[in-house]
A and B are shown apart, each in its own frame.
Chain A
Amino acid sequence: MSWLPIVKKRLFSLVLVVIGVSLITFVISHLIPGDPARLIAGERATPAIVAHIRHQLGLDLPLYEQYWHYLVRLAHGDLGMSIRTHRPVLQDIRAFFPATLELALVALFLATLIGIPLGVLSAVYRNKTVDQVVRTISVTGISTPAFWLGLGLIVVFYGRLGWFPGGGRLDQGLAPPADITGFYLVDSLLTGNIPVFFNALKHIVLPAFTLGFVHLGIVARQIRSAMLEQLGEDYVRTARAFGLSRMTVVVHHALPNALIPSITVLGLALGDLLYGAVLTETVFGWPGMGAYVVESIQALDFPAVMGFAVVVSFVYVLLNLVIDLLYRWIDPRITGVS
């Protein structure tokens, strides 16, 4: 089975997901008591001013009509105007979302980079000191609140040691790279702006580690159990009997097989990272979607909230598609859609 039907099927489901997500967010946004027009006008505004703003925003139309207008605009790639910032939602998301996605991807990369070797070590040295240490790290990762870890890292690595900056994406006074992908790390490399690349890298390490720490624990535990399973398999014993070194068997035979289920875990983790970046972004002053969405929710800015939900679901489904394809690339025996 080629990859095309999977892509087609996923893209079709994407449309359903977007409609579903927008409908649910729309309904919830309108169930919350509170009047966005009143929030914009200010508490002291006269009823005439509030009514004028409500009319401008189309909030005086019946709900089904408001939703229909939203869907029609959405089909044209228009997410509407933010009630709070008075800018097109798409423009706002374009400004904030790449920062969140970049942070989530680097966090995932760090979680994988550190989590997998830890999981392998833990399995190979099962019940030894190394295993205990790794398991302690995993449990700590899973149970440490992000804001606490983030603040602690800032106090130590910015406040005391001065190794890393205290927040933001770049040092003050440094111009961001030309906007190509919105990822500073990628854009700075594409434009050959090496100082900006290293500066952006320095800025992303602490927040990405904070965000990824939970998943580092999850990945390590997942790899550990998968590795234990693989190490007990006949082929491992056979390989050892052939005279292969332990290292070769672990890295070249057991690990590749243990990685397959981990891909699924990583796919799910990415969704978590995208939605869960709010606290980390707040602590590190990371200009991502977190603060934007929280402020939008408080201002009952439902076009912004719906826009965020739609875009994140969209990206999430797309990334899962990529992971599905990756899954098949790693293990061609898998033919269906997982």
Chain B
Amino acid sequence: MHKFTDRRASLSLLRRHVLAALVAGAGTVAFSPAVFAMAPKDTLVIGKPADPQTLDPAITIDNNDWTVTYPAYQRLMRYKQVDGKGSTEVEGDLAQSWKASPDNLTWTFKLRPGQKFADGATVDANAVKFSFDRLMKLKQGPSEAFPPHLQVTAVDPMTVQFKMEEPFAPFLYTLANDGASIVNPDVAKRGGDIKAYLSGHTAGSGPYRLVSWQKGQSLTLEPNPHYGGSHKPHLRKVVVKIVPEASSRRLQLQKGDLDVAEELPVDQLAALKKAPGVKVAEFPSLRVTYLYLNNKKGPLANVHLRRAVVDAIDYKGIIDGIMLKQARQTRGPIPQGMWGYDANLPMPAQNLKKAKEELAASGEGHPTLVLRYSTQDPNWEPIALTAQANLAAIGVKVKLEKLANATLRENLDKGNFDISVGNWSPDFADPYMFTSYWFDSSKGGLAGNRSFYSNPQVDTWLRKAATLSDQSQRVALYTKVQEQVTRDAAYVYLYQKNYQAGMRKDVKGFVFNPMLERVFNVADMTK
């Protein structure tokens, strides 16, 4: 019918026909309805929003990574369980006994026999030395919790000795930290970069070991066959599944594809509380939120103005309105649940009359303050807005500046702010974390003293407390410190947040430890 003399044109038409037939002949792909089975009884599936960054305990400072590293490694010390609850007290894990020299500079640990790494090798003094030497040599974030120039010696295969240049009272507590994990020294024999290997593998003696990591999807843990703990873990598999979207995590939990869903926003948790088959585990944490007031420069160097700010803030409004009551107000720097907490400190409360008196006493007139914040924590912005409104009520204007978190950190470190807002959670279970870090004048900036508070008397008390081994003497000093710093209105203490996680009702045995947010005691858990 159609004759084409041009061969190329006819070929071209054929190609176009092929293409047209391909696309125009669209069919539909039929899918059979699938049954998405709930996770098996001996498998626990934990859903979290993001992949771990690195699994190297000497490098990670992120609790999100500890979900995997903590159960894969053991440490010399571990946090105790008291009456079925997590405590901030520590007891021996790999360490069977220990002794400090009278000057508190030498600590000797006897190791518990029969503890084995996942490859069957024995955990001995050499492994402890290897791990701490590596930690201190790498000099990354986790090393910061330990005394500098820490010397470790393997006295005999089951005895290890630590020597430090100055007494460091919280030492035993730091040994339960993730950074103190004992790594199998055989990783050095593998050749290649140990850091690269440990960033993606585990090499510990904990109850579980990592068997696979599909990046961005899931990590699978299975029991360490040589685990030397008091009982064998019940779960044959622990899967950490990455589900970035909060509502998807909630939906998968409800459908039974997940057993535990982490990091759910308050509204999703409220919805979950009504859902069948699911419970919301809720515990007071040691993560505190507070306002930094610049004690060093600007109008807030004036103590009366700082007191005016402390009296003007609507604490109850923040906890009820922003935190939906999922937080507990704090009295001072040391939160409830940490030893050294002072229940006699007055609970801060909004008192506009007193705030105005302090403002008048400051002689600053009606100053303008700059409040810098980021949205790293979604609660910070509403807190900043509340502070702005509260201070406006006493005639102090607050200029809000929202910054990228990295930029905010730079400003905090350099003291470029009048007010800012932040969170703090302890690395080790010692009031040192909430006092020496926050008030020692040598730690100004991001290191911890973010208000740049400076008081030689407080410095003396803090430095003395850090060298004492008698807890009651230390508590006495920390009580003095807390009274002084609250009188000086160094910070505005807001609240300690509740830790919440959604769980299937059949998940049993979870014990929350306030030192180990996002870590699950999987060796004790069942379904």
Interface residues in chain A, defined as those with a beta carbon under 8 Å from any beta carbon in chain B = 32-35, 38-46, 48-49, 52-53, 84-88, 92, 95-96, 99, 112-114, 116-117, 120, 147, 151, 154-155, 158-159, 161-173, 176, 201-202, 205, 242, 251-252, 255-257, 259, 281-285, 287-288, 291-292, 295, 298-300, 329-333
Contact = CB atoms under 8 A, between A and B. Distances in A.
A298 B407 CA distance: 11
A99 B215 CA distance: 11
A300 B404 CA distance: 11
Interface string B46-59: 00001101101001
B12 A331 contact: yes
Interface in B442-472: 446-448
B33 A44 contact: no
B257 A49 contact: no
A98 to B, nearest CB: 11
Nearest to B433: A44
Contacts of A292: 216
A288 B216 CA distance: 7
B242 A49 contact: no
* Most chain B CB within a 10 A radius of its CB, from A52, A147, A159, A333: A159
Given A45-B141, A242-B1, A291-B244, A38 B446 contact: yes
Most buried by B among A41, A96, A167, A242: A167
A35 B345 CA distance: 38
A329 B15 contact: yes
B271 interface: no
B410 interface: yes
Interface stretch (B100-108, B195-203, B347-355): B195-203
Given A49-B143, A113-B26, A291 B50 contact: yes
A41 B140 contact: yes
A105 to B, nearest CB: 15
Nearest to B23: A116
Contact of A202 (B31, B140, B199, B405): B31
A299 B140 CA distance: 16
B188 interface: no
A85 B407 contact: no
18 contacts: A35-B406, A42-B61, A85-B54, A86-B53, A86-B54, A99-B216, A112-B23, A164-B34, A165-B34, A172-B39, A205-B29, A256-B16, A256-B20, A291-B50, A291-B51, A291-B216, A330-B19, A332-B12
B19 A96 contact: no
B410 A35 contact: yes
Interface stretch (B158-166, B247-255, B361-369, B511-519): B247-255
Contact of A162 (B12, B33, B45): B33
Contacts of B41: none
Given A158-B36, A172-B257, 19 more contacts: A40-B140, A43-B447, A44-B141, A49-B141, A53-B140, A86-B199, A151-B245, A158-B251, A158-B255, A159-B254, A162-B33, A163-B31, A164-B31, A167-B243, A168-B217, A169-B217, A251-B20, A259-B16, A298-B406
A285 B23 contact: no
Given A151-B247, A169-B217, A259-B16, A114 B26 contact: yes
B6 to A, nearest CB: 10
Given A96-B216, A251-B20, A172 B13 contact: no
